Structure 1
C-alpha cells in the first residue's frame, strides 16, 4: 500500500457539487485533493459517443461503464448493480466518472419556496430544515452566478438580486401551450443553468433538443465545467480512484481515505478534513463500508441514520394529441411548467407538485412504436407526421416525505471490485399517491384546453423516477434523527463533512442540484470561518 498523497481537504467525488466545493476551498488558499472513482472523458468524446449511439433515447449510452467504478445500467438490460429490496422499485440512474451525473442533467436550477423549509411546523408533515430560506438565499444566488442560471421572476421563490440571465427563448410549442392555458393556468419558463446569452466562456443556447444526454454546443453548465473551475483554482484531481473506506482514529477523526485503482491496487490518502461528495447512494454506501472496531456500523452511523430518508420526485404523466400542430423538439427538452401547486394548506393532506411539460421530439418514440406495431409505407408516414406534430406530454413532479424505512443499505452481493453493492429499500406513501390523484384534475383540464384526444395516463400507482436522489445523509439539529448538522458536518466526527443532495432534509418539488449546491456553499462558508459566500465573480 502506497501513501503518497496528502491535502488540507480531501473531497470524495468530482460531481458538480463536490468540484465546486473544492474550488471554493482552493480559492481560499487551501490544498485540496479530489478522489474520483471513475475515468476522465472529454466533452468531445461524449458528444461523439452520443452522435454514434444506436440508442438515442438512452441518456446513459454516451457515458462509459467502468468495471472498477460500476454504476447502474438498465438498457438494454439491468446490470444488477443497484439491488432492489422493494417494495417499490427505485431504478436510480447516475454516472461515475469525472464530472458526475450532471453531464446529462436537464439543468433545472430551481430554488425551494420558503415554506418548504418549515413543512412540519406549517403542515404537520415531514421535518423542518435547520437552515431557513432566508439563511440560504445568498448561497442560492452564488450558486446561480457560478453556474449561469437563466430564469424569470415568477417562480414563487423570493430574490434579493436578479437572475444572472434572462430566460432562454421560448419554443413555439411552449408558447402555444402558455397561450391556450391562460388564464386557467400560468405557464412559466423553467429556471435552468443554461445560457440565454454568452456567459462565463459558454455560448448561448441555440435550440438543440439533446440537453439530455449532452448539450452539443456547451451552453449548459455541467460537472465537466465544475471540474475545470476546480482545477483552475489549483485543485488536484485523481481519476480512477475508487474510495472504499475512510479510516478513523480513536478520537473519531477521519485520518485517511483508502482507494482502489483499476487493477485493485490499494492507495492511502491522508488529510486534515474529509468531505464526502458522492451522490445520495454512493456517499452512504462509503460511510457504511467504513466500519471499524470503534464504529461497527460505519462512520457517522452511531444511531443507524446513514442511508435513511431516501427521497426522489416520482412522476405520473398524461400523453395526448393536441388539436393543432405544435411540433415538440425545437429548443430545450424541458422548458416550461406550472407552479401553482408547489405550496398551500393542502400540504397537510397530500403532496405538492410541479407540472412539467416535455419538449422532447416525438419522432424517435413514435417511430419505434409504429414499427413495433407493424405499421409501414404510406400509413407509417402519415401517422408518424401526426404524432410528431401533435403529441404532447405533461408530468407531475411530486414531493416524497422523508421516511426512515426508505433507505440505502449494503447488499450481500458484491461488485467486480469485491465491494458490497448498494441496496435500495423504497416505497411510495399515501401522501404522495394522494397528490398524484389530485393532479388528475389538472391533467384533464390541460387536455381539454388543448383540444386533447387519445388521452394516455400512466397507470394508477405507477410512477416514473426523476433521478433526484436526496435525503440519505439528512441534515438536522438532532443527532438521533439526522446524520449531519446544519453546516453539513457529521454529528460524530469533527473533521468529516458531507455535501451533495443527500444532505437535503425534505425533497419539496424542485430538482435537487441547486439546493445541494447552495447547501454546499453554506458549508464552505462555515468551514472557512465566514470568509466565503455571497455573490461569485463571473466574467459574462
Structure 2
C-alpha cells in the first residue's frame, strides 16, 4: 500500500489549497515541506524588535537544511548568479511558504495576456483560454477573501467577495489630482475589508510586508491550516531531493532528507510538485525527470521595476492603510506590446519614517536640520514604480550549480538577461513618471539609476504549460507530459507573466489541477 494517495511537495499557498481541495474530495493527502513551522506571533514580535525594518525576510526563521536566498546584512550566495544581469530574488522555505510576507495583491490576468503570440506576435499563447480560468479565479478569490473594485480590466462572471479596503488619504489625493489624465484604481488584494473567513478587517497597520499583525491578510499559513482541517497530513523538515520513477515512467516515491541528513521516502499514487519557480525545477533537474523537452528551468520570468521618488507640493503622510493600495492600469495592454513591454504603475503607501531617517543619517544630517528635513520629507515624499511585463526567453533559466548546501544538495544557479523589450517598456514609463510628478507638483525628483531594475519576486515560467510536449513541460492541467501521475502547481507553470502579481493565477490553476486529479463531489463543492 502507498503511504498516501496524493503526495504534495511544498506547503505554500498553491500546494496547500490543492491539498485542501483533494482532501475535501476524499483523497488521502500527504504534504511534504522542507522547512519548519512558522508562528505568526513570533514573526510579529521579531519584526517589532528587528532594527532591519526594510529586510522583510529578517523576522522569519531560516533553516540551514532548507536554505533560501538572503541578501541582508550580507548575501549568502545560495542562488548562484551567472548573469549577465543580476536577479536577487527572495523567497521563504517554511510551512506556508513565501506568501507569509507578500503584499497580498491578487489580480487576474487580462484575456490578452494568454494570447500574446496571436494578438501581438510576441511571447507565446497559453493552452487554455481566460474563459476557462474564470470559475477557478472565482473559487480562488472566495477561498482567499479577495477585495477589489469592478474596474480592473479583467472580465468576471461573478462579483468580488468584498469591496476594496478603505482608500487611504494619500491615495485619494493622488487619484483626485491625476484625474482625468489617469484613472487610479484600488489594487485587488487578498485582504479583508470586512470580517471574512473568521478574520478581522484591515485596520491599517501598514506592515502588510513582512506580516499583517492581525491576520486581515490571507497567506500560506492560513492555507496549510485549512488543508490540515480538511484532513490532509503534513510532514515538515522533509527536504525532497529526488522523485523516483518506475520503468513505465510513473512516479512511485519521493525521497527526502531530514535536517540531520537521514534518508526517508514516501510512496504515492499521484505526486504534485508545488515548491516554487526555483525549487520545483531544481528538484526535477536533480531527479532527471519531466525534461524530455529540455524546458525544465527555462523561460524564467519575473516582473521588473524602475521607480521615481519625489516630494509632492502638499502633505500626503504615507503610511496609513495597506502598503500598496492603488495603481494605474491603462498601460497593461495595447498594440504597443508588439514593440515594448506592457506595465502597470503602482503607488507605494509605505511609511517614509524609517527610510528617510536612514537616508539622513547616512548623509550626516543631525540636529535641527535633521528634524526639519525628516518632517518635510515624511509628510510630502511619495513614489511610483512600473511593474514591467517580461517575455519568456529559454536562455533565462534555473540550472544546478556546482555548489552544495548543508545537506550536500546542489544549489540553484540563475542565468538572467534583461532584454530590449523590457528596457523599451521602462523608457516608455518614464513619460508617465514625469507627468505624474508634474500633476503632483513634484520637487526633488529621484529616478532609479539608469539601467537599474528591481526584481518583484514573482517567479514564473520555469515549468511552462503547453500543448506541445516538445516545447513545454506540462499540459493545460499541469500534468507533466512525461509522467502521467506527476502534476506541477505554482507560478512556474505560467507560460507568460502579464503585468500583474502571479499568485492568484497560480492558485486558480492549482485548484483546476486538483479537480483534474480527483473531482469534487457535487454535494461538497
Q: Same fold judged by TM-score > 0.5?
A: yes
Shift of 1:181: 0.2
Secondary structure class of the residue paired with 2:304: coil
Could you tell me which runs of 5 or more consecutive residues in structure 1 were left unpaired when the two chains were aligned: 291-297
Whether the 8 Å CA contact 1:501–1:515 is kept in 2: the answer is yes
1:97 matched residue in structure 2: 94
Whether the 8 Å CA contact 1:524–1:532 is kept in 2: the answer is no
Whether the 8 Å CA contact 2:2–2:269 is kept in 1: the answer is no
Aligned equivalents of 1:481 and 1:451: distance in 2?
50
Find the partner of 1:26 among 23, 27, 37: 23
2:176 matched residue in structure 1: 179
1:246 matched residue in structure 2: 243
Aligned equivalents of 2:2 and 2:282: distance in 1?
23
Find the partner of 2:153 among 148, 153, 156: 156
Find the partner of 1:47 among 39, 44, 48: 44
Aligned equivalents of 2:228 and 2:480: distance in 1?
27
Aligned equivalents of 2:436 and 2:139: distance in 1?
36
Find the partner of 1:108 among 83, 97, 105: 105
Secondary structure class of the residue paired with 2:115: helix
1:255 matched residue in structure 2: 252
Deviates more, 1:338-347 or 1:40-49: 40-49
Find the partner of 2:518 among 496, 504, 528: 528
Shift of 1:324: 0.4
Aligned equivalents of 1:10 and 1:49: distance in 2?
33
Aligned equivalents of 1:524 and 1:441: distance in 2?
44
Find the partner of 1:64 among 61, 72, 77: 61
2:268 matched residue in structure 1: 271
Whether the 8 Å CA contact 1:138–1:533 is kept in 2: the answer is no
Specify whether residues 88 and 179 from structure 1 end up closer, same or farther in structure 2 by C-alpha distance, changes over 3 A only. same
Whether the 8 Å CA contact 2:244–2:252 is kept in 1: the answer is yes
1:362 matched residue in structure 2: 352
The question of 1:474 aligning with 2:471 is answered no
2:368 matched residue in structure 1: 378
Aligned equivalents of 1:217 and 1:41: distance in 2?
15
Deviates more, 1:225-234 or 1:518-527: 518-527
Deviates more, 1:240-249 or 1:43-52: 43-52
Aligned equivalents of 1:123 and 1:480: distance in 2?
23
Whether the 8 Å CA contact 1:521–1:533 is kept in 2: the answer is no
Secondary structure class of the residue paired with 2:268: strand
Find the partner of 1:505 among 495, 500, 504: 495
Shift of 1:50: 1.0
1:515 matched residue in structure 2: 505
Whether the 8 Å CA contact 2:82–2:416 is kept in 1: the answer is yes
Shift of 1:188: 0.2
Secondary structure class of the residue paired with 1:435: helix
Whether the 8 Å CA contact 1:155–1:339 is kept in 2: the answer is yes
| CA distances 1:302-324 after superposition (whole Å, capped 9, x unpaired) | 12110000000000100011000
1:199 matched residue in structure 2: 196
Task: Map 1:313-462 to 2 at 5 A.
Answer: 313-462=303-452
Aligned equivalents of 1:310 and 1:300: distance in 2?
17
Moved >2 Å (runs of 4+): 531-534
Shift of 1:516: 0.4
Secondary structure class of the residue paired with 2:423: helix
| CA distances 1:425-452 after superposition (whole Å, capped 9, x unpaired) | 1111111111000000100000000000
Shift of 1:532: 6.9
Shift of 1:5: 7.4
Aligned equivalents of 2:68 and 2:308: distance in 1?
30
Aligned equivalents of 1:317 and 1:42: distance in 2?
34
Find the partner of 1:16 among 13, 23, 28: 13
| CA distances 1:517-537 after superposition (whole Å, capped 9, x unpaired) | 1111111122224x4799x97
Secondary structure class of the residue paired with 2:67: coil
Aligned equivalents of 2:128 and 2:332: distance in 1?
19
TM-score (norm 2): 0.99
| CA distances 1:139-171 after superposition (whole Å, capped 9, x unpaired) | 000000000000000000011110000000000
| CA distances 1:249-297 after superposition (whole Å, capped 9, x unpaired) | 111111000111111111010000000000000000000001xxxxxxx
| CA distances 1:313-343 after superposition (whole Å, capped 9, x unpaired) | 0001000110000000011100000000000
1:293 matched residue in structure 2: none
2:229 matched residue in structure 1: 232
Could you tell me which runs of 5 or more consecutive residues in structure 2 were left unpaired when the two chains were aligned: none
Aligned equivalents of 1:432 and 1:41: distance in 2?
36
Secondary structure class of the residue paired with 1:424: strand
Aligned equivalents of 2:390 and 2:469: distance in 1?
22
1:295 matched residue in structure 2: none
Aligned equivalents of 1:532 and 1:222: distance in 2?
26
Aligned equivalents of 2:522 and 2:365: distance in 1?
59
TM-score (norm 1): 0.96
Task: Map 1:303-314 to 2 at 5 A.
Answer: 303-314=293-304
Aligned equivalents of 2:468 and 2:450: distance in 1?
37
Whether the 8 Å CA contact 1:24–1:532 is kept in 2: the answer is no
CA RMSD of aligned residues (A): 1.2
Aligned equivalents of 1:314 and 1:8: distance in 2?
40
Whether the 8 Å CA contact 2:292–2:470 is kept in 1: the answer is no
2:133 matched residue in structure 1: 136
Secondary structure class of the residue paired with 1:397: strand
| CA distances 1:218-259 after superposition (whole Å, capped 9, x unpaired) | 000000000110000000001100001101111111100011
